[in-house]
């Protein structure tokens, strides 16, 4: 993705070029995904357009660096006024700080006001895993209404990879025929192009083997391992739909999504005494703080059990 492709036609040319250059540097040095870059571009572009309108004219890159506290407060008030959540605004402010720091390095100006700004407080959402018995039921049930046996085996295999290996659905669907039969460990490319080795449990290897034996298409090395009814790659919405129907049959909450199986993998591993650093590596989290969210889930579950079991006077 080059700088020209990342430029914003609604910004003054100098600011559009600066934003594109910053995003291109992030893509090159940090290996951020296209989705992350687009989120950053959207957040910073809105901020830059606001500054231009708020000040009654196009703001140059130097003026952006020395933004005042009142300008920042006015921008945040407008974003909240249009319905942006505290969490999303905190993300937008983080992007603005990153761009401002980059711009300050180039102009030699003091960006302290922007870089010291505090975002809104928000409560991080805890992962919503399934109970162990519910996760097991989901693996059994997800293929129950498939119109063909091989499709049922496919959906079961994908769900087993999510719960048994902690894969994201995009990671499971990115596997190719070259990955079959599954080796004792899989090399997975996750967010930002980061790779990790994930041990393959026997249940996952068996589930994928059962699917491969029934699949009517040749699983050639260069093509997707998991196929749709017409032979093309599986659309993730098909798996989401299969899981939604299964959770309705099982009476599970709406939070029982494919990603919840990945959450369940981490939470159940932690409950069984798994090391937090090891779980971080298995999940491919860039930051340990992301993985630490599962400790809060585990503590919350422990307190729930305590409250139910503790005798009351």
> 168, 227, 263, 268: which one is catalytic?
168
Residue 285 falls in the annotated catalytic set? yes
Residue 310 falls in the annotated catalytic set? no
By CB atoms closer than 10 A (0-12, 13-18, 19+), residue 209 is: middle
Q: Which is nearest to 234 in space by CA: 219, 244, 248?
A: 219
Residue 121 falls in the annotated catalytic set? no
Which of left, alpha, beta for 198 (phi over 0: left; psi -120 to 50: alpha)? beta
> 154, 227, 247, 262: which one is catalytic?
262
Residue 80 falls in the annotated catalytic set? no
Residue 40 falls in the annotated catalytic set? no
> 46, 227, 268, 285: which one is catalytic?
285
3-class DSSP string for the chain: CCHHHHCCCCCCHHHHHHHHHHHHHHHHHHCCCHHHHHHHHHHHHHHHHHHHHHCCCCCCHHHHHCCCHHHHHHHHHHHHHCCCCHHHHHHHHHHHHHHHHHHHHHHCCCCHHHHCCCCCCCCCCCCCCCCHHHHHHHHHHCCCCCCCHHHHHHHHHHHHHHHHHCCCHHHHHCCEHHHCCCCCEEEEECHHHCEEEEECCHHHHHHHHHHHHHCCCCCCCCCECCECCCCCECCHHHHHHHHHHHHHHHCCCCCCCHHHHHHHHHHHHHHCCCCHHHHHHHHCCCCHHHHHHHHHHHHHHHHHHHHHHCCCC
Residue 191 falls in the annotated catalytic set? yes
> 80, 191, 196, 301: which one is catalytic?
191
Q: Which is nearest to 166 in space by CA: 213, 199, 138?
A: 199
Alpha-carbon gap, residue 300 to 183, rounded angstroms: 36
> 54, 87, 259, 301: which one is catalytic?
259
Catalytic residue numbers, as ranges: 168, 191, 259, 262, 285, 294
């Amino acid at each position: 993705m080059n700088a020209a492709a990342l430029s914003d036609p609604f910004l003054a040319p100098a600011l559009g070029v600066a934003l594109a250059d910053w995003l291109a540097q992030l893509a090159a040095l940090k290996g951020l995904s296209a989705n992350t870059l687009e989120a950053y571009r959207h957040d910073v572009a809105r901020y830059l357009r606001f500054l231009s309108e708020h000040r009654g004219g196009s703001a140059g890159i130097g003026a952006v660096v020395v933004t005042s506290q009142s300008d920042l407060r006015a921008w945040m008030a407008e974003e909240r006024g249009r319905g942006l959540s505290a969490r999303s605004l905190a993300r937008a402010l983080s992007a603005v700080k990153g761009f401002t720091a980059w711009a300050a390095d180039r102009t030699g100006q003091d960006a302290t006001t922007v870089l010291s700004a505090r975002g809104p407080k928000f409560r991080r959402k805890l992962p919503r895993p399934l109970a162990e018995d519910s996760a097991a039921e989901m693996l059994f049930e997800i293929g129950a209404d498939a119109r063909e046996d091989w499709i049922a085996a496919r959906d079961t295999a994908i769900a087993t990879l999510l719960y048994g290996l902690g894969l994201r659905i995009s990671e499971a669907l990115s596997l190719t025929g070259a990955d079959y039969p599954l080796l004792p460990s899989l090399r997975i490319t996750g967010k930002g192009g980061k790779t990790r080795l994930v041990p393959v449990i026997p249940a996952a290897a068996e589930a994928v083997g059962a699917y491969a034996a029934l699949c009517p298409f040749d699983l050639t090395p260069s093509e997707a391992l998991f196929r749709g009814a017409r032979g093309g790659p599986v659309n993730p919405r098909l798996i989401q739909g299969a899981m939604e129907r299964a959770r309705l049959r099982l009476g599970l909450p709406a939070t029982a999504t494919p990603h919840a199986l990945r959450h369940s993998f981490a939470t159940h591993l932690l409950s069984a005494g798994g090391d937090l650093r090891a779980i971080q590596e298995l999940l491919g989290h860039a930051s340990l703080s992301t993985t630490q969210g599962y400790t809060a889930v585990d503590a919350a579950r422990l307190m729930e059990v305590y409250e139910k079991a503790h005798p009351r006077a």
